């Protein structure tokens, strides 16, 4: 076989590979986009709010939008408990969970109806830790609250850590326009990679190699 023939075969194989890779991530993008627009809230044991930035104990606009949606679900009787998640970033005095709990309590949620997950620094860590202490309480069915673009990945992570989860994204997030579409693109990569490597491995190993992928 001549070098030219080998080159042509290799080129065809590469083209087929990249075409399949493009199709895989295109289908993943459609799934991420569709789940972002679906509110699947149903009666559950708990509502779990994924953390976001806080400013010296006060929720950022992104976190507040998530908390407001969780509060709305709580008042509708979707679940008797709200789990707030998120640890402390370097230099912070407060955890994301603490800021979330304070906000909910100020808006009428009794302290005994708020559970705090204060160690997670990623979606996987927060959901894995939440799953552990919820299971100890005999609670497994949850409604996950976050931004729309985040819904598909946290649903998959919840399944991986043993939670019976549905998603109910906030519709009042301040992230919109080009910024939202950039996050849809990032989430497509994360969901696609998570299905291949597993979300735990993506969080702990692959994410260290490819900054931000975990």
Q: With residue 4 as reference, give the H or E element that holds it.
A: helix 3-36
Residue 34 lies in a domain: no
Q: pLDDT tens digits, residue range 42-69?
A: 999 999 999 999 999 999 999 999 999 9
The confidence score (pLDDT) of residue 210 equals 44
Question: Count of domains in the chain?
Answer: 1
Reported as a pLDDT band with limits 50, 70 and 90, residue 209 is very low
Residue 199 lies in a domain: no
Domain housing 126: 46-175
Average pLDDT over every residue of 147-167: 97
Average pLDDT over every residue of 23-45: 97
Instruction: Give the CATH number of the domain where residue 123 resides.
Output: 3.40.50.620
Residue 188 lies in a domain: no
Average pLDDT over every residue of 95-118: 96
The confidence score (pLDDT) of residue 9 equals 81
The model's pTM is 0.90
Q: Looking at the predicted structure, is the pLDDT value of residue 204 above 80?
A: no
In the chain, beta strands by DSSP E: 46-49, 54-55, 58-59, 82-85, 114-117, 141-145, 164-167
Nearest Cα to Cα of residue 214 among 26, 200, 163: 200
């Amino acid at each position: 076989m001549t070098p030219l023939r080998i080159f042509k075969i290799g080129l065809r194989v590469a083209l087929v590979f990249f075409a399949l890779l493009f199709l895989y991530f295109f289908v993943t993008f459609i799934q991420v986009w569709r789940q972002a627009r679906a509110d699947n809230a149903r009666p559950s044991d708990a509502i779990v709010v994924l953390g976001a930035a806080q400013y010296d104990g006060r929720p950022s606009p992104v976190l507040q939008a998530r908390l407001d949606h969780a509060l709305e679900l709580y008042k509708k009787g979707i679940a008797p408990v709200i789990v707030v998640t998120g640890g402390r970033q370097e230099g912070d005095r407060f955890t994301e969970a603490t800021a979330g709990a304070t906000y909910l309590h100020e808006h009428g949620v009794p302290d005994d109806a708020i559970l705090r997950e204060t160690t997670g620094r990623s979606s996987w860590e927060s959901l894995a830790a939440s799953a552990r202490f919820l299971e100890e309480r005999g609670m497994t069915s949850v409604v996950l609250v976050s931004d729309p673009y985040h819904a598909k990945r946290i649903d998959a992570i919840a399944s991986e850590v043993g939670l019976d989860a549905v998603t109910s994204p906030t519709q009042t997030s301040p992230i919109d326009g080009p910024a939202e579409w950039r996050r849809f693109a990032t989430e497509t990569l994360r969901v696609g990679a998570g299905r291949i490597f597993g979300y735990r491995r993506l969080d702990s190993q692959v994410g260290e190699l490819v900054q931000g992928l975990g």
